[in-house]
Amino acid sequence: MLTGNVLKPAAVLFLILPALRGQQMGIGAYSVPTYFSTPIAIAAGSDGALWFTESTGCKIGRITTPGYINEYALTDVGCSYWITAGPDGALWFTADGIARIATDGTLTPYPAAAVLEPAQIATGPDGALWFTGTKAIGRITTAGAVSSYTVPTANYGASGIVSGPDGALWFTEFSANKIGRMTTAGAVTEYAVPTSDSGPIEIASGPDGALWFTEFNGNKIGRISTGGVIGEYAVPTANSQPWGITVGPDGALWFTESNLYSGFYSNIGRITTSGSITEYPVPVHNARPIGITAGPDGEIWFVDSNENKVGEGFFQTASLGLNPATGSFGTSLSFNGSGFAAGETVRIYARGVGSNVLVSATADSTGALAATGGEPQAPYGPRLFVATGQTSGKLGTATVSVAPQIRVNPPSGKAGDFVVAQGNGFGSMQQVEFYWDDTSDGLGYRPADVNGTVSGDNAFGFAIPKGSTPGTHTLLADGPLSGVYAEVTFVVK
């Protein structure tokens, strides 16, 4: 049995995105507690939670729909890469071989699959797990029996795999620029992608009976019928490097755009089965969304490998606003909403839907509401709040930009006296450095927690530098990785 650390990350998160057929989407994210863990794949589990891989953190993460994270350290299996829900109610993932993690955290490794160098994995139509490898397509039963089947094209490039509507396995060949089809008996048919060197990478079984795939190099979304006919649709943002793809709850395909250098922002994309594409920016510098899936809550979930977050896209059916637009921990926030059901209770959550309630209000006869709540702890940057009507189920989101702040206790003293500094609103899990006045020599540093907070047992204590003259001085707290700082004055007696 693995031991899991239960942590409550901040729902940091982002802004309200452009209207889609009259509907808006709000995108938020939850910081992964392990610093620089590089999550790359995510899947919905049988337990109503989302499970994700941490490819450099060497852990498996579990996040509930309210936004609370458990992490399970991996031993004897290496770091995790791609993950899928298995037919036995567990999660199966690729690592040094194949491994299975039950929803209670019990880990079972299958190292015999390591020789195939597994990449991506999916549940097959025959009740086994199928995976791509650099040497062959592999199959593993839930009892752990491994077999493999060769692909006609040598060095085809291990990529995505999915069970198709025709009872076969469909996979992408990144290097060979083909889409492959394999029967459960191992018979392979390959189809060349029309765009040369397109780099097909992920594939999903669409709601229209076809297979849909991303073209990482070609900057397109492809569609292939079970008869092998391929169509391609250009992604509006140039060089967006589309990667993950999934079927959304709205009957469209949703995909990630992983190139974090496209104007410093990346997108979540949506393509209808008729080929119409809409892009939704993830408004955080250097975000790199990769894996994506539909959640059990009817929302879109993805992992951000560069900013170390799990993201969630909320479909909005009501409106929510707040004032002020920028605030720090404890700032009084005034919410106003509309479009809810008359007389219903509306809960505004501190994180995702079902998390701690920040404030509740009753909608008036027109479905409008007003409420006030204090800003909770959260890392620097845009942060999303989610409101839901408890009768209608209507949902609205609003954003505030979190600003850093520091406090000192006591606020004055003599040179040599001991002072304690606490701060909020810095980068999640990032180092905060402290400076006295304008000197380049730092007083020291403390790592912020998952909420970007330095406080309590982790507060920064220091002695007022000797030689400090009587009068007003400045203590500066700098988060160099997040690029933010805050300062507070201190009176030397």
Q: What is the pLDDT of residues 345-395, one digit of tens each?
A: 999 999 999 999 999 999 999 999 999 999 999 999 889 999 999 999 999
Complete domains list, the chain, with CATH? 4-315 (2.130.10.10), 319-402 (2.60.40.1930), 405-492 (2.60.40.1930)
How high is the pLDDT of residue 226? 98
Amino acid (1-letter code) at residue 333: L
Phi and psi based region of residue 134 (left: phi greater than 0; alpha: psi -120 to 50; beta: remaining)? alpha
Contact 135, 156 (CB under 8 A): no
The radius of gyration of the chain's CA atoms, rounded to the nearest angstrom, is: 25
445 touches 396 (CB < 8 A)? no
Which residues of the chain are modeled with pLDDT < 50?
1-22
CA 137 to the chain's CA centroid: 28
Confirm if 160 and 213 have CB atoms less than 8 A apart: yes
Distance CA 211, CA 193 (A): 13
184 contacts 126 by C-beta, under 8 angstroms = yes
For 187, the token pair is: 């018979």
Do the Cβ atoms of 368 and 1 come closer than 8 Å? no
User: 183-197, pLDDT tens digit by residue?
Assistant: 999 999 999 999 999
Beta-bridge partner residues of 359: 348
Please give the pLDDT value at position 161.
Answer: 98
* Secondary structure of residue 115 in the 3-state scheme: helix
What is the pLDDT, as a whole number, of residue 20? 38
pTM of the model: 0.92
Q: Of the candidates 14, 68, 8, 69, which has an alpha carbon nearest to the alpha carbon of residue 380?
A: 14
**Residue showing tokens 């795999």:** 161
- Report the chain's mean pLDDT, rounded to a whole number: 92
Contact 96, 107 (CB under 8 A): no
How far is Cα 92 from Cα 388, in angstroms, rounded to an integer?
33
What pLDDT score does 298 carry? Answer: 95
What pLDDT sits at residue 393? Answer: 96
Phi-psi region of 451 (alpha: psi -120 to 50; beta: other; left: phi over 0): alpha
Residue type, 476: L
Nearest to 95 by CA among 71, 120, 73, 70: 120
Are 443 and 464 spatial neighbours (Cβ–Cβ below 8 Å)? no
Distances (CA, A) of 272 to 16, 233, 252, 268, 389: 21, 11, 5, 14, 29
